[in-house]
Amino acid sequence: MVIGVLQFDLIIHDAPSLKDKRRVVASLKDRLHREHLVSVAEVGDPELLNHARLAVTCVARDGQRVGEVLDHVSEKLRSLRDAEVGASHRQLIHGAQLSDERDQADLDPDPDGELAAEMLRRVSEDQGSRQA
């Protein structure tokens, strides 16, 4: 498994208000997600008027596929009409980096079932309050 992250700055020249900025950012996020099946989030300060920092992430079996997807996203960003792309940073994270230090016990956050017991207790209390 490989996770690709592309962070980039977006300079929005014709945004006299935050509403205009959000329109441009939301449109771009939706388009990238729809056309490239990636996750997109605004990771910078959302209150800056003419600037947005966004991150695009992609997960695939191999680095070649991740690279291709991020390349296509980069091409799309260069052709933007509503904004200009500033600095960008690309990073690949290999699954081995994530799982080397974890074992199966770390994957189960509630090995003793305490969470399940608490949930059952709350459900039974909720049902009891409905019957009363």
Per-residue pLDDT of the chain (132 residues; tens, 9 = 90+): 999 999 999 999 888 899 999 999 999 999 999 999 999 999 999 888 899 999 999 999 999 999 999 999 999 999 998 899 999 999 999 887 766 555 544 555 666 677 777 777 777 777 766 665
In this structure, is the dihedral angle defined by the CA atoms of residues 33, 36, 41 and 47, taken in order, positive or negative? negative
Q: What is the pLDDT of residue 41?
A: 96
**What does the DSSP 8-state code read for residue 130?**
H
Q: Regarding the domain delimited by 2-131, which CATH topology (the fold level of the hierarchy) does it fall under?
A: Alpha-Beta Plaits (3.30.70)
E strand residue ranges, 12-117: 39-42, 51-60, 84-94
Residue ranges with strand state E in 73-129: 84-94
Rounded to two decimals, the pTM is 0.70
Q: Domain coordinates of the chain in residue numbers? A: 2-131
User: What tokens appear for 57 in the block?
Assistant: 């992430």
Q: What angle do CA 79, 83, 87 make, to 5 degrees?
A: 85
pLDDT of residue 124: 76
CA separation for the pair 48, 43 (Å, rounded): 12
